[in-house]
Structure 1
Amino acid sequence: MALQSCSPSQPPSGPLPIRRLQEALINRIAAGEIIHRPASALKELIENCLDAGSTSIRITLKDGGMKLLQIQDNGCGIRKNDLPILAERFTTSKLSTFSDLSHLTTYGFRGEALASMSHVAHLTVVTKTKTDNCAWKACYMDGKLTPAKAGLTPDPKPCAGNDGTTITIEDLFYNTPTRLSALRSSSEEYARILDVVTKYAVHNPTVSFVCKKAGSPSPDLSTPSSSETPQVIRLLYGHSIGKELLHTTISSPKKSRRHEDNDEDDGGERDDPESWIAEAHFTNANYQAKKLVFLLFINHRLVESSRIKKALEAVYNGVLPKGASPFIYLSLLIDPRSVDVNVHPTKREVHFLNEDDIIERISDSLQETLASQNQSRVFEYQTLLTGGIAEPGQSMKNGKGKEKDRIIDDGVAEEEALSSIAAVSDVKKKTLSQHKVRTSLQDRTLDSMFPVANPDQIHAADSSSIGADPPQNASKPKDIKESECYLTSVKYLRDSVTKRKHNHLSEILEKHIFVGIVDLDRCLSLLQHSTKLYLVNHGALAEELFYQLGLRQFGDYSRLKLEPPPPLRAMVKLAVDAEEGTKNSRLSKDRIVDCIVETIMARRDMLAEYFSVHMSPDGMVESLPLLLRDYTPNLDKLPSFLMRLGPQVNWTSENDCFDSFLRELAYFYIPGPLIPASKLSSSQPSNEERAERWQIQHVLFPNMRRYLAAPKSLLDRDVMQVASLPDLYRVFERC
């Protein structure tokens, strides 16, 4: 009956009474309007830091900001006397009367951000002004001071600290489970936070921003202070955008006329409420992206405007092909009297006067700047060490002022373009020696000084005649297509590989030139990219490559048949006997072997269906997955691989099972023998070592170039720059 009385089909017999909401409920509702997710909380905190005159902002997060969100600045700090009312609603230092709204030049002004955070999270503030002898720490809950620990008073406590303010938010939405459950994964929330920090870093190039995960040794975002906007865009959004940037400045008509007329003074312009000025950095016709990147700041406030966005997109409709989008950063400064900033709870939108006229002038200016540039597609090429290549058209300069050779394609076929270069080959373009790059893969490598052989020809050719290049009849690499898989866990793992991809490192591997193997035992090789030389751990790169290849071909592997098939129990027992850690185990070695064999045999059907690991009912290992054509793993590692499947694979969870199994499979495929060659008595390289060198150079690295999406973790210890040609020239010029 109670449910029926609440049904909308049965209206109440009379008007319901109007009641005043409780103060706690009012504050909780207001907090939900302002703090939607960790990124919105961080946006408010960053604006507070900038209002405080900070030149350095450091952000630390845990679980996408849901467990921990900490921001530290070196601004003016907060006075101790203001701490008791710091987290109360409508307490602000930037607004006293209603008329002040028309003269606002700061980000925050309502005093609701910290109050809202204190109602949905545990808020801690550590602050110090330049005149204070120590820092003060205060904790807040529901807008009021609260003791940091039971038994203490809620008053701020003295502590050590630097000038500025550190705000820590823990357990965001702990008391609003509905809002917490509506949030996405921690990785997606972290991506939203990085997006916010990136945009504010672009707009504030003189402020240093650092953003990292708690416990991570290196930040995911870091910008220097006292920089310039184009440099920050290039650093955060990539070189491909930075080298194609255009710049323009637009202002109101009155401002332009008075600027040109020397008889007018500047005082009258400042009194004009309709004056405005805009600055834009945007890409030319050579840059194309699948998704528009649009940064809009109005009076230094990050906002959204669908009208401005659509107008600027329309500018590129006649410039870019269908489906392509540009990068646009627009900063618009309008007289505060013409802007209403109090139209949205999170200040995400603003209204201003003469919106149509301003948008039209900005669009026209961008269109004129684009039209003044060469709208033909441009292709770049590098110069060989032996000399420069002539340029048929007008040379253009990149962002650093260095000349670049370019071929302008106006619809002419590639052969005609090359013939036109040959026709004007008498026009030589001088290229500085320190910027010349070797681009020929046929140039001599380090391994050409050592016998490196195709494993298929080890016994067919005399070792004295073996060279570094692959045989002429070597088979062409076969494309490895991604298998169709509808398992949610596999899709998640594939998406994780894409999200972990580090663009610059992947570009280095994609466009590298193999120099040679430095140390086979330590898995060290040299690669060249552009004018830089890198020392890489090809074992770590190969492990990540084979993991991704295993994930790419999940459920559709080629089979590596073992003839005759070895017995599983014998293989596992061989590895257990050689494992030193089993001596301290409570179980006997035979019992350990039984447990591992039982675990693997119980999942024999699953291993055969998903991973092509076929085992007969009597325990004979018949085949293994073949991850890469022309590459055979060292089967001496097979006992260790089968033994590790027992304790190292998490068989209880589907997602963890697939991930850990593929990691073990990739570890099994890593090149290298069980016993390093340096520990062998013979000083001459064996046939196996020569075959391994051939596979690394002619199979592994070419496939890394095609398939490896390199994660950022490889930069920590597995990829290191050892030389730079321009830097070396500067060193030798001083000699």
Structure 2
Amino acid sequence: MSQEKSTSSSQEPLPIHRLHQSLINRIAAGEIIHRPVSALKELLENCLDARATSIKITAKDGGMKLLQIQDNGCGIRRNDLPILAERFTTSKISSFSDLSRITTYGFRGEALASISHIAHLSVVTKTRSDAHAWKACYLDGVLVPSKQGQTPDPKPCAGVDGTIITIEDMFYNTPIRLSALRSPSEEYAKILDVVTKYAVHNPTISFLCKKAGSPSPEISTSPVSDVHQAIRSLYGHAIAKELLHVDVTSEQFNDGIDDPEKWSAEVYCTNANYQAKKMVFLLFINHRLVESSPLKRAIESVYSGFLPKGTFPFVYSSIEMDPRSVDVNVHPTKREVLFLNEEAIIERISDAIQQNVVGKSQSRVFEYQTLLPGVSTHSTLKGKKRAREGGNESEDENNDGPTESASLGRFESHPTTVDSLFSVRKSLSQHKVRTSLQDRTLESMLPVNDPSRLDDSSGRAVRLGDIKESQCSLTSIAELRQSVAKNVHQNLTEIIRNHIFVGFVDDIRCLSLIQHSTKLYLVNYATLAEEMFYQLALRQFGNYRRLRLDPCPPLRTLVELAVNVERGTEQSGLEKTEIVDRIVKTLVHRREMLSEYFALDVSESGDILALPHLLKEYTPDLNKLPTFLMRLGPQVDWSSERECFESFMRELAYFYSPASGVWSGDGIGQEKSAAWQTEHILFLALRKFLIAPRSLLDNDVVQVANLPDLYRVFERC
């Protein structure tokens, strides 16, 4: 009975009670003040509301130990100090309807109240009519004495016009929030970021931000005339010189008409010459620093057509609209706002940015080596002068260097003045690298005995198509794909992706030379190709193109050819006819699976109808087809799904990889064709598709020379 009574009582609803006011205030404080930069933003906006022209910020331990903001604004009256840190005390609004006309930053009166509940807050303030300043200390929203034995009333003290707000020991009574903060250096970086953004938007106001005890500030601005100069001062000349100024207004904009839907926007954005790894996006709506993910995504999509993948622009945008169109009360920290016609406004702004960037990208600036090897200073300067005048360097008969302006259109050299050309730091010879794929290869430097070999087809340009990853729900294929990504060697992949083909060394052992930066590598291109074709087979699993064979060769005949020349078959204890029968039986029995997954079509009568085609522009050596079919019998593990798929694709990759001595054909034409296909298709595919594993570093990629080291050897000679 006692157990049943206990169970029934546990199902009774818990009583509802009022929270203690201190708990309510502390919960509310956590919504407003997330970290030191949240308090700084609120107090900065109070300084601007007080019409300050000079704002100084001092921080210690990222603002967690000390955060002080001093301004020269209008100050706070002595009679208002007792309720200064109480919740919902403000001078900005008196009724709910005032929210629709709000033009100030703060309006709810929660910032100082929230700060007083999670930190020790003190205020020193003086109005222009006061004879002296007043100091007050607050804790949990009420006045407290600054020293023991004193009354909590504000005390007179020395001070200048304006207000000094000091916050100490932030989050001292909320240890979980304190432990969740980042390091002091990261918190201070966030403070600098907010101060920088407000300094850009308010160029006529002086800002200073420094660490406590530091002799020099990290940010120190003087009043300037416009935003462009502020960006130059705070973000540097590299951004300022590439800025475009864009003004956008609503279609019905008219200063004489009271229309709540009218708006205007001023944008400073970089052109196509500037690119950074991270986007810098400053957005102010009615002078309030806010965020807008839709607008940011729209601008990113605009620049995606001009900038390389993974690079971003700098954008400053200030939008002004009727306060009746903006709801500033949708976020506790006022970080986000809602406004009317958001989609239409974003579309007009992004379209205006796109038009300006397109208009200014016709004369892009390209940086390149000032003095080209073998070109005199006079001819280099002459070529640069012609480039600035819109001429084409390829038309200059006296210019012996490589053509800089080919296929780039009109461009300007950088730096653009003759004096600055000589001020550029000279590049040492051992650090100059070849960057043109049109430079001579190793073969062009060797003597040619047969004049017919000069009739090369290397001028044909090849463009490899993209190969999309097939959709496959098999767990084994997903695991194999993950294994490729896990074993990648980033540096080696970068070398292969950006290498320059130098020449063949030994076609018997499939060795060639490639260059990356100032280093020369000897690579086994057959092994590299085998790994690439395995990855291509894995990527296209179940969705291969088919290479049709006409006439269709008999499977048994091909396998017999391979078994007859294969050594060591007697160790199996089987006759060669038995080995052929087993291989043919295995492949014919599994022909439906081979056709569905690998596009290897075998007829009921045993003819090979089609082979999987891994790379559209590349044709494998069909002389290896008998060996490929023979190896599918003993080398593929048909008993396990994953091992079966992996071993089959490994054999397929080996079939596609170049064979040793492939150029020793019957005629010169076959030799030229194989060499051209290897250089212009295979190596191009390696650049585009190969994800290099660590195993290639064991024997297949070896560094043989380094330009700076060679210069040291020649200097000793």
Provide TM-score, normalisation by structure 2. 0.54
Per the alignment, residue 267 of structure 1 pairs with 256
Q: 1:414 to 1:200 in 2, by over 3 A?
A: farther
CA gap 1:440/1:167 in 2 versus in 1, 3 angstroms: closer
Aligned-pair distance for 1:476? 8.5
DSSP-derived class of the 2:386 partner:
coil
- Is the aligned partner of 1:335 residue 2:335? no
Matched-pair contact (CA < 8 Å) for 2:247–2:265: yes
SS at match of 1:50: helix
Change (3 A) 1:128 1:318: same
Q: Match for residue 312 of structure 1? A: 299
Letter in 2 for 1:150: Q
Task: Specify every segment of 5 or more residues in structure 1 that has no aligned partner in the other structure, as ranges.
Answer: 259-265, 397-404, 443-469, 478-697, 699-735
Residues 63/312 of structure 1: CA separation in 2 closer, same or farther (3 Å cut): same
Distance 2:288 2:431 in 1: 55
User: Does 1:415 find its partner at 2:409?
Assistant: no
Alignment match, 1:36: 34
- Which residue does the alignment assign to 1:348? 335
Q: Do 2:392 and 2:405's aligned partners in 1 also have CA atoms closer than 8 Å?
A: no
Q: Could you tell me which residue of structure 1 aligns to residue 423 of structure 2?
A: 438
Instruction: Give distance in 1, aligned partners of 2:293 and 2:392.
Output: 37
Q: Which amino acid aligns with 1:296?
A: L
User: Could you say which residue in structure 1 is the equivalent of 2:165?
Assistant: 167
Q: Which residue of 1 aligns with 2:278?
A: 291
Is the Cα–Cα contact under 8 Å of residues 282 and 328 in structure 1 kept in the other structure?
A: yes
- Residue 69 of structure 1 is matched in structure 2 by 67
Displacement, 1:60?
A: 0.4
**Structure 1 residues 440 and 326: CA distance shift in structure 2, 3 A:** closer
Q: Report the count of equivalent residues.
A: 416
CA gap 1:430/1:185 in 2 versus in 1, 3 angstroms: closer
Within the candidate set 76, 86, 89, 2:87 is matched to 89
User: Which of 261, 264, 268 matches 1:277?
Assistant: 264
1:441, distance to aligned residue in structure 2 (A): 4.9
Q: Which residue matches 1:225?
A: 223
Q: Could you give the per-residue CA deviations for residues 15-44 of structure 1, whole angstroms, max 9, x where no partner exists?
A: 222111111011000100000000001000
Preserved CA contact (<8 Å) 2:283 2:289: yes
Aligned residue identity for 2:82: P
Tell me, yes or no, if the aligned pair for 2:76 and 2:125 is still in contact at 8 Å: yes
| Residue number among 302, 310, 320 corresponding to 1:323 in the alignment | 310
| Cross-structure match for 2:609 | none
Decide whether the 8 Å contact of 2:250 with 2:264 is kept in 1.
yes
Quick check: 1:250–1:279 contact (8 Å CA) kept in 2?
A: yes
| Aligned CA distance change for structure 1 residues 13 and 112 (closer, same or farther; 3 Å) | same
Alpha-carbon distance change, 420 to 294 in structure 1, aligned in 2, over 3 angstroms = closer
2: CA distance between counterparts of 1:345 and 1:206? Answer: 29
> Cα 1:437–1:406, aligned 2, differ >3 Å: closer, same or farther?
farther
- Alpha carbons of structure 1 residues 237 and 414: separation in structure 2 relative to 1, 3 Å: farther
Distance (Å, rounded) in 1 between the aligned partners of 2:11 and 2:307: 63
Question: How much has 1:221 moved relative to structure 2?
Answer: 1.0
State the alpha-carbon separation in 2 of the partners of residues 184 and 267 from structure 1: 50
Q: Match of 2:17, SS?
A: coil
* Cα distance change on mapping 1:310 and 1:216 into 2, 3 Å: same
Q: CA offsets, 1:370-396, max 9 Å, x none?
A: 111124641257999999654334569
Q: Which of the numbers 37, 48, 64 marks the counterpart of 2:46? A: 48
Report the residue type matching 2:215 in the other structure: P
Describe how 1:200-239 pairs up with structure 2 within 5 A.
200-239=198-237
**Superposition pairs of residues 421-570 of structure 1, within 5 angstroms:** 437-439=422-424, 441=426
User: Contact 2:54/2:205 (CA < 8 Å) preserved in 1?
Assistant: yes
CA contact (8 A) 1:380 1:406 kept: no
Kindly provide the CA deviation profile for residues 423-457 of structure 1, in whole angstroms up to 9, marking residues without a partner as x: x9xx9x99587x67534759xxxxxxxxxxxxxxx
Q: Return the alpha-carbon distance in structure 1 between the equivalents of residues 238 and 37 of structure 2.
A: 27
What is the DSSP-based 3-state SS (H/G/I as helix, E as strand, rest coil) of the residue aligned with 1:75?
Answer: coil
Q: Could you tell me how far apart the structure 2 residues matched to 1:212 and 1:432 are?
A: 40
User: Structure 1 residues 55, 335: closer, same or farther in 2, change over 3 A?
Assistant: same
Partner amino acid, structure 2, of 1:325? F
Q: CA 1:100–1:11 in 2, change beyond 3 Å: closer, same or farther? A: farther
Q: Distance in 2 between matches of 1:350 and 1:328?
A: 19
- Whether contact under 8 Å (1:379, 1:407) holds in the other structure is no
Q: CA deviation at 1:11?
A: 10
Look at both structures and tell me which one has the larger radius of gyration over its CA atoms. 2
Distance 1:15 1:340 in 2: 39
Equivalent position of 1:366 in the other structure: 353
Q: 1:106 aligns with which of 104, 107, 130?
A: 104
Distance 1:274 1:304 in 2: 20
> Conserved in 2, the CA contact under 8 Å of 1:395 and 1:406?
no
Partners in 1 of 2:158 and 2:260 — Cα distance? 47
Could you tell me which residue of structure 2 aligns to residue 188 of structure 1?
A: 186
* Secondary structure of the corresponding residue to residue 378 of structure 1: coil
Structure-1-length-normalised TM-score: 0.53
Q: Distance in 2 between matches of 1:141 and 1:67?
A: 16
Aligned residue type for 1:50: L
After TM superposition, the structure 1 = structure 2 runs for residues 140-159 of structure 1, keeping only pairs within 5 Å, are 140-159=138-157
Amino acid at match of 2:176: T
Contact 2:123 2:163 (C-alpha < 8 Å) held by counterparts = yes
Question: Matched residues in 1 for 2:305 and 2:139: separation?
Answer: 55
> AA paired with 1:304?
E
**CA–CA distance in 2 between the matches of 1:73 and 1:203?**
17
The letter for the 2-side match of 1:391 is K
Residues 13 and 282 (structure 1), Cα distance of their counterparts in 2 relative to 1, 3 Å cut: same
Shift in alpha-carbon separation, 1:392–1:68, aligned structure 2, 3 A: same
1:251 paired with 2:238, answer no
Contact 1:279-1:330 within 8 A present in 2 as well: yes
**Same amino acid, percent of matched pairs:** 66
SS at match of 1:373: helix
The C-alpha deviation readout for 1:228-247, integer Å capped at 9, x for no partner, is 21122122222221111111
- 1:318 to 1:336, Cα distance in 2 relative to 1, 3 A: same
Provide the residue aligned with 2:344 in structure 1. 357
Q: Distance in 2 between matches of 1:205 and 1:167?
A: 23
Question: What SS class does the counterpart of residue 230 from structure 2 fall into?
Answer: helix
Please tell me the residue identity of whatever aligns with 1:20. Answer: R
Paired residue secondary structure (1:162)? coil
CA 1:180–1:371 in structure 2 vs 1: closer, same or farther (change >3 Å)? same
Partner of 2:386: 392
Conserved in 1, the CA contact under 8 Å of 2:71 and 2:163?
yes
What one-letter code is carried by the residue in structure 2 that aligns with 1:267?
Answer: G
Please say if residues 393 and 403 of structure 2, whose CA atoms lie closer than 8 Å, have aligned partners that are also in contact.
no
